[in-house]
Amino acid sequence: MSRTIFLYALLVSLLVAGCSPSAAPELLNTPTAKAPITSKPPALEGSWRIRMSYSGGIMGLSRSIDIASDGKYTVTDEKTNKAIMGELTADILSELTQQVIALNSIPANKIDRAGCADCFSYDLEIQRNGEKFTVQLNDAGMQNSEFESIIANLRGMIDTALK
């Protein structure tokens, strides 16, 4: 009987610890020959590209969106091997541009990747004129951050396209 209670207590503590809040977003410091990584998103003037992918959760999803400055996008679901191409309306493209312009520099805090057992992980990359900005977050670390609205917007675009 006491062994069963111990196992239940251990299971409950692991579940509670698995969904604890995570640290702030992490700036990825992986150098690349094509584009140096900056600590502030580049201004979206001229030609640019935004890519966001998310993966994880109970279902093990792996989805992404790649948007070019002309509004053309590609949404991919790696689990189902489905890819959809389209073009954003001028209003949606303008809203997305404003969300990126509103982003500030990123604190270099480490993200706790084990902070939530079934959270989604998000990789956001913004490129323009040889500059590259990359940030990685998870559901717990994204809450109340300046990235919450842009990640939600991009994820909504992915989910809508894959319906």
- Which residues, including other chains, have CB under 8 Å from residue 18's CB and lie 6 or more apart? 114, 116, 117, 118
In terms of C-beta density within 10 A (0-12 exposed, 13-18 middle, 19 or more buried), how is residue 26 classed?
A: buried
Which domains does the chain carry? 2-161 (3.30.1560)
Higher pLDDT, 44 or 33: 44
Report pLDDT digits (tens) over 48-62. 899 999 988 888 889
pLDDT band at 142 (very low <50, low <70, confident <90, very high): confident
Q: What is the mean pLDDT of residues 10-31?
A: 40
pTM score above 0.95? no
pLDDT digits (tens, 9 = 90+) for 79-126: 899 999 999 999 999 898 888 877 765 544 445 555 677 788 899 998
Q: In what order do the strands lie in the sheet with 120-128?
A: 26-27, 131-138, 120-128, 48-56, 61-68, 72-77, 82-87
Per the prediction, the chain carries an average pLDDT of 73
Token duo for residue 74: 């590609």
